[in-house]
Every structure is written in structure tokens, then in C-alpha cells.
């Protein structure tokens, strides 16, 4: 690991004593939300400090071993889960936040979804037409383009073929990459540096515009005086162990929290219950629970080649789910493979013949909450899976099974409790339709998380307004996925960045 960027990024080894800095703006968190704000304000000529708890990673730091990579790049070693319903959920701890480990999928929220936000959350300027200029700016900056066929690989193109056979729409996924080589390694970090994660895109651009970046600093509190935030306080945190040392104090005219929708509510609670006159800070936590089915094909699919997630179908958005292709290190998938001994060995031997496709669901009835634990900054998460939302995934599983057989799979592994481990035909897959599917039959992950500090036009019903400013304070802003009022219907990163772009423009006008 190294500081890089000509030493403009302070790393753990640079801290030899307590730190006391001043800036116009301090931004907490360098993920898609924070990096966009830091760049926007630095480019507008403001003195910006960007603070990040995780370290910077270079290609030499990436580990191809999935478990080891998770232990280094993800909070709680990638094993974080909600209580109430056991939904696994991953948040990164790294310069660049989730963009370092994500699949770079960038999709604009549909107009109907944003219209629904406006009418249900008293928002006046968050229609698709309002956000389009911000989407445009982010897409242009990051070079977001549909994935070309030459890096799709068989497991992505088979998805297209299955959709064509059934008459469903499908499209190559637009991603923030430049020169992708189709290595399928997005989850463990892009060694080709093709993925335009924040640490190699918006953060260096912010630095070029004069921003200072402090990594390995855990912010623990927002300091205030009356209705004004005066800065942040925290401590230096050793990478990978979290051991805390020197004190850090940053005074600023404006404070922007972009620590992610799990960490920002904890920060507000640790700061004396800040920005919570509405009682909504830490409430309304939502996810896109996802399910995946593995199909095994007669011919080799060479799944190690191809964009990690290269194809999608938006056909079923009106029914509440989106379909995608998926890839991860085989060791990560193997956790889901049934059987032991010879049986497991046979299944592992089938991986070169497989394709894995997933569905993510908008579950607007399934709500949770984020609370600070008794000690430390990790959140205690509670989330309940509404039975009606479970039925969205039931339908999604049927469609995935149908698609895999339409694309030529000879069998599928649905991974659903109380059903056979393998199905060999559409007739056998009928069991998915007949099943009285319950939440605990599903092994779900939810890496898209949002709404814990939601935007609402009514200060009694939300934490921030449309400009990202906390209703209760004059100069405290939130710019992570927590401000999405509910599901964006598609992958959240691009909408988070578009909203952050707007937050930065609003702050630049006010200071």
C-alpha cells in the first residue's frame, strides 16, 4: 500500500501525532457520494478536506482469494448481516468506498420511479428531467459506456440469448470503466485499473483541484455550536486492525457526511442525536435483496472470462425486480454449492460450464433501522422482510429459471430452501411456481442499501431536503445513498453520484 498521487493522500504512516486542520468544507467518506462532492467543491475553488477511514489500495494490494480480499476491503470482514431477517450486506472500508469492490454498474433511475419519489416524499425538483443534467455530468466524467461484446464472454452473452429466445428486452450494462479486459475481478479490485473507482477518478481530480485527503482516519463525531456544524473529530485508525491512535480535529464552515447509509446515522447518533428532530435518522433502511441461480451448460462457458456483470434486463422493473448476470471468485460461489465430499467435488468441476444470473428486488415494504452499538462505530442493523416483497423474488426466481433453460442450460441450482438442489427441465422448475416460498427459504444478499437519512420535503418526515442539507442544521449535509427516499429501482451508485453532484452545486452556491 502506498500514499500515491504524489503524496497528496496522507496514509497511516504519515501520522506522527495529533492532527488539527481547517478547511472550507470537510467531507467524510470517499465513496461515490463523498468523492463526487469533494471534487465538485474543490473544482469550484473551495478548500476541501476529504476524510476516509480505510486505506488506499493499489493493484499490488489486491488479493484474488475472495475471503482474504473481503477481510481486507470490507467492513466486518464482509460478514455483516441484519438481525430480524439475516440479510448479508457488504460495505467497503477503502479509499473509494464501495466503488473499489463493486461491479461498476451505472443505470439511471427510471422516470416513473423518480416521479413516485416526488409525489410520495414531497419533493419538487427530483424528477428524471431534474436529475438528467447531473447524470450527464457524472457519466461524461467517468466515461460510462455500455459493455462492448468483445469483453462480454459466454456467460453474459448467453443471458442475452435467453432473453431473445423469450422475447424479453436485454442490454449490455453501462459501466464506469475504461479499457475493461473482461477479467471478471471487479469484486476483488480491478488489477487492470480499468474500473473507474473513485480512488482513481474523482479523488485524484479533487486533489488536482486542491483538495487534501486524509485516509486511515475514523470520524467519530460532528462538532456543533447551535444550529451550525463546526467540524468533525475522530482518531487515526490503523488499516486492517482498526486500532485507534492519534486524535484528529478538523474545523470547517461546511460538513458533508458521506460515510455510507450504515455509518452516517451512527455518526449522527454519536454526535448527541444530531439532525433527528424528525425521528427519521437511522430509520427506513432499505435494501435490494438479491437472489441468484446457477445454470450448468453442456459446453464450457469459460466463466473466468467476461465483464463481472455485463448484461441486464429492465423488462421486469414494473414488477419490482431487475435481472443481471453475475460473477465472483469461485470460492465465494462455492459457499452456496450444496453437498460435501465427492458430490461437492463434482459440482466444483461444473463451474467451467456455468453461468450465474441474479435478480435484485425493490422491496419498499421491507424496512429496517440503523443504531449505534454500545461501543465503536459499527452499526447494529435490524431489517424485516415483508412477506409481499418475498413474492417479488418468487416471481424473479421463476423468470431466472425460465431464462437459463431458454439459453440452453442442462440443469439449474436454484438454491431455494425446501426444494430440490438441482432441476433438470422447465417441468421440474415448475416447483418454483408451486412453492409457498417463505423468507427463510432464501439465501439473500443486499449490497444495495439506502434511505436511512432520507430526503423528504417535509422536515417532520425526513432528515435532509432536496439539496442534501439536514433540515435541523444550517451547514450539515448528507450525500451518500442514505438520502435516497426509497429504492431507485436499479443499482444505486449512479443516482447517488447524481444527487451528490447536485449537493455539491448547491453548497457551492451557498458558501
Ligand X SMILES: Cc1cc2nc3c(=O)[nH]c(=O)nc-3n(C[C@H](O)[C@H](O)[C@H](O)COP(=O)(O)OP(=O)(O)OC[C@H]3O[C@@H](n4cnc5c(N)ncnc54)[C@H](O)[C@@H]3O)c2cc1C
Q: Which residues bind ligand X (CB under 6 A)?
A: 28-34, 51-54, 90-94, 97-99, 101-105, 187, 218-219, 258-261, 263, 267, 377, 447-448, 480-481, 491-494, 496
- The CB-of-96 to ligand X minimum distance in angstroms stands at 7
Q: Establish if 157 lies at the interface with ligand SF4 (CB under 6 A).
A: no
C-alpha–C-alpha distance, residues 396 and 291, integer Å: 8
* Residue 284 touches which member of ligand X, ligand SF4, none, C-beta under 5-8 Å by kind: none
Residues 6+ apart with CB under 8 A from 335: none
Are residues 356 and 325 in contact, defined by beta-carbon separation less than 8 angstroms? yes
**DSSP code of 61?**
G
* Residue 491 touches which member of ligand SF4, ligand X, none, C-beta under 5-8 Å by kind: ligand X
Decide: helix, strand or coil at residue 213: strand
Q: Establish if 195 lies at the interface with ligand SF4 (CB under 6 A).
A: yes
* Residue 126 touches which member of ligand X, ligand SF4, none, C-beta under 5-8 Å by kind: none
* Residue 90 touches which member of ligand SF4, ligand X, none, C-beta under 5-8 Å by kind: ligand X
Considering only residues 53, 185, 199, 283, which one is a binding residue for ligand SF4 as defined by CB under 6 A? 185
Q: Which is nearer to ligand SF4, 197 or 475 (CB)?
A: 197
Are residues 260 and 247 in contact, defined by beta-carbon separation less than 8 angstroms? no
Considering only residues 55, 172, 182, 446, which one is a binding residue for ligand SF4 as defined by CB under 6 A? 182
> Rounded to whole angstroms, what are the CA distances from 207 to 56, 138, 332, 449, 477?
14, 17, 35, 28, 21
Considering only residues 38, 177, 326, 363, which one is a binding residue for ligand SF4 as defined by CB under 6 A? 177
C-alpha–C-alpha distance, residues 380 and 481, integer Å: 18
Packing angle, helices 493-510 and 32-43, rounded to 10: 30
Residues 6+ apart with CB under 8 A from 107: 173, 174, 312, 314, 490, 491, 494
- The CB-of-241 to ligand X minimum distance in angstroms stands at 15
> Rounded to whole angstroms, what are the CA distances from 423 to 353, 428, 431?
16, 6, 9
* Residue 99 touches which member of ligand X, ligand SF4, none, C-beta under 5-8 Å by kind: ligand X
- The CB-of-100 to ligand X minimum distance in angstroms stands at 8
- The CB-of-292 to ligand SF4 minimum distance in angstroms stands at 18
- Pick the closest to residue 475 from 12, 15, 150, 41 (CA basis): 41
* Residue 190 touches which member of ligand X, ligand SF4, none, C-beta under 5-8 Å by kind: ligand SF4
Pick out residues in 253-272 that bind ligand SF4 (CB under 6 A): none
Considering only residues 158, 307, 393, 494, which one is a binding residue for ligand SF4 as defined by CB under 6 A? 307
Q: Which is nearer to ligand X, 232 or 429 (CB)?
A: 232
> Rounded to whole angstroms, what are the CA distances from 164 to 86, 168, 424?
36, 6, 21
* Residue 52 touches which member of ligand SF4, ligand X, none, C-beta under 5-8 Å by kind: ligand X
Considering only residues 33, 55, 66, 184, which one is a binding residue for ligand SF4 as defined by CB under 6 A? 184
Are residues 293 and 404 in contact, defined by beta-carbon separation less than 8 angstroms? yes
> Rounded to whole angstroms, what are the CA distances from 137 to 141, 143, 203, 251?
6, 10, 16, 30
C-alpha–C-alpha distance, residues 37 and 26, integer Å: 10
Q: Which is nearer to ligand SF4, 46 or 175 (CB)?
A: 175
- The CB-of-304 to ligand SF4 minimum distance in angstroms stands at 11
Q: Establish if 181 lies at the interface with ligand SF4 (CB under 6 A).
A: yes
Q: Establish if 317 lies at the interface with ligand SF4 (CB under 6 A).
A: no
* Residue 367 touches which member of ligand SF4, ligand X, none, C-beta under 5-8 Å by kind: none
- The CB-of-245 to ligand X minimum distance in angstroms stands at 15
Q: Establish if 203 lies at the interface with ligand SF4 (CB under 6 A).
A: no
Q: Establish if 178 lies at the interface with ligand SF4 (CB under 6 A).
A: no
Considering only residues 1, 186, 203, 229, which one is a binding residue for ligand SF4 as defined by CB under 6 A? 186
SS (H, E, C) 355-395: EEEEEEECCCCCCEEEEECCCCCCEEEEECCCHHHHHHHHH
Pick out residues in 92-151 that bind ligand SF4 (CB under 6 A): 104
* Residue 192 touches which member of ligand X, ligand SF4, none, C-beta under 5-8 Å by kind: ligand SF4
Q: Which is nearer to ligand SF4, 180 or 261 (CB)?
A: 180
Q: First-to-last CA distance in the chain?
A: 36
Q: Establish if 183 lies at the interface with ligand SF4 (CB under 6 A).
A: yes
Considering only residues 90, 174, 194, 200, which one is a binding residue for ligand SF4 as defined by CB under 6 A? 194
C-alpha–C-alpha distance, residues 144 and 140, integer Å: 7
Q: Establish if 308 lies at the interface with ligand SF4 (CB under 6 A).
A: yes
> Rounded to whole angstroms, what are the CA distances from 9 to 3, 267, 324?
5, 23, 36
Are residues 117 and 486 in contact, defined by beta-carbon separation less than 8 angstroms? yes
* Residue 184 touches which member of ligand X, ligand SF4, none, C-beta under 5-8 Å by kind: ligand SF4
C-alpha–C-alpha distance, residues 194 and 187, integer Å: 13
Mark 56-95 with x for binding to ligand SF4 (rule: CB under 6 A) and - for no binding: ----------------------------------------
Supply the DSSP string of 234-276, one letter for each residue: EEEE-TTT--EEEEEEEEEEEEEE-S-TTHHHHHHHHTTSTT-
Decide: helix, strand or coil at residue 291: strand
From 120-128, 180-188, 281-289, 470-478, span contacting ligand SF4 (CB under 6 A): 180-188
Residues forming contacts to ligand SF4 in the complex (CB under 6 A) are 104, 177, 180-186, 190, 192, 194-195, 307-308
Amino acid at each position: 500500500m502506498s500514499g500515491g498521487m504524489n503524496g497528496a493522500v496522507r496514509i497511516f504512516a504519515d501520522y506522527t501525532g495529533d492532527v488539527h486542520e481547517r478547511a472550507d468544507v470537510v467531507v467524510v467518506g470517499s465513496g461515490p457520494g463523498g468523492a463526487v462532492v469533494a471534487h465538485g467543491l474543490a473544482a469550484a475553488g473551495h478548500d476541501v478536506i476529504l476524510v476516509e477511514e480505510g486505506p488506499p489500495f493499489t493493484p499490488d494490494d489486491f488479493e484474488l482469494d475472495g475471503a482474504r480480499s473481503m477481510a481486507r476491503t470490507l467492513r466486518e470482514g464482509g460478514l455483516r448481516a441484519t438481525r430480524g431477517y439475516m440479510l448479508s450486506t457488504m460495505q467497503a472500508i477503502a479509499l473509494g468506498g464501495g466503488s473499489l469492490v463493486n461491479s461498476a454498474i451505472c443505470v439511471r433511475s427510471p422516470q416513473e420511479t423518480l416521479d413516485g419519489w416526488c409525489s410520495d416524499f414531497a419533493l419538487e425538483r427530483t424528477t428524471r428531467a431534474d436529475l438528467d443534467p447531473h447524470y450527464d455530468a457524472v457519466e461524461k466524467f467517468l466515461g460510462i459506456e455500455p459493455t462492448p461484446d468483445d469483453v462480454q464472454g459466454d456467460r453474459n452473452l448467453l443471458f442475452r440469448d435467453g432473453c431473445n429466445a423469450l422475447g424479453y428486452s436485454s442490454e449490455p450494462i453501462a459501466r464506469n470503466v475504461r479499457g475493461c479486459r473482461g477479467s471478471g475481478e471487479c469484486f476483488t479490485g480491478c488489477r487492470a485499473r480499468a474500473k473507474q473507482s473513485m480512488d482513481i477518478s474523482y479523488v485524484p481530480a479533487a486533489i488536482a483541484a486542491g483538495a487534501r485527503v486524509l485516509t486511515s482516519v475514523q470520524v467519530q463525531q460532528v462538532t456543533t455550536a447551535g444550529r451550525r456544524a463546526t467540524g468533525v473529530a475522530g482518531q487515526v485508525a490503523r488499516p486492517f486492525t482498526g486500532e485507534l491512535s492519534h486524535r484528529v480535529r478538523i474545523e470547517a464552515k461546511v460538513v458533508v457526511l458521506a460515510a455510507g447509509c450504515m455509518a452516517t446515522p451512527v455518526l449522527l447518533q454519536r454526535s448527541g442525536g444530531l439532525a433527528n428532530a424528525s425521528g427519521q435518522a437511522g430509520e427506513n433502511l432499505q435494501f435490494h435483496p438479491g437472489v441468484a441461480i446457477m445454470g450448468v451448460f453442456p459446453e464450457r462457458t469459460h466463466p473466468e472470462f467476461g465483464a463481472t456483470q455485463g448484461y441486464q434486463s429492465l423488462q421486469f422493473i414494473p414488477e419490482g425486480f431487475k435481472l443481471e448476470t453475475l460473477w465472483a471468485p469461485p470460492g465465494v460461489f462455492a459457499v452456496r454449492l450444496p453437498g460435501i465430499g465427492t458430490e461437492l467435488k463434482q459440482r466444483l468441476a461444473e463451474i467451467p460450464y456455468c453461468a450465474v444470473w441474479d435478480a435484485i428486488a425493490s422491496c419498499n415494504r421491507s424496512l429496517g433501522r440503523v443504531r449505534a452499538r454500545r461501543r465503536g462505530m459499527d452499526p447494529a442493523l435490524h431489517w424485516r422482510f415483508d412477506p409481499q416483497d418475498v413474492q417479488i423474488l418468487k416471481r424473479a426466481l421463476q423468470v431466472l429459471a425460465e431464462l437459463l433453460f431458454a439459453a440452453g442450460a442442462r440443469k439449474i441450482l436454484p438454491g431455494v430452501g425446501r426444494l430440490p438442489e438441482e432441476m433438470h427441465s422447465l417441468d421440474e422448475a415448475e416447483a418454483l411456481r408451486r412453492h409457498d416460498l417463505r423468507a427463510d427459504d432464501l439465501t439473500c444478499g443486499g449490497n444495495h442499501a439506502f434511505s436511512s437519512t432520507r430526503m423528504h420535503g417535509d422536515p417532520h418526515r425526513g432528515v435532509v431536503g432536496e439539496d442534501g442539507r439536514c433540515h435541523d442544521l444550517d451547514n450539515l449535509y448528507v450525500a451518500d445513498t442514505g438520502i435516497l427516499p426509497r429504492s431507485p429501482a436499479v443499482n444505486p451508485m449512479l443516482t447517488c453520484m447524481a444527487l451528490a453532484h447536485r449537493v455539491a452545486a448547491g453548497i457551492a452556491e451557498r458558501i
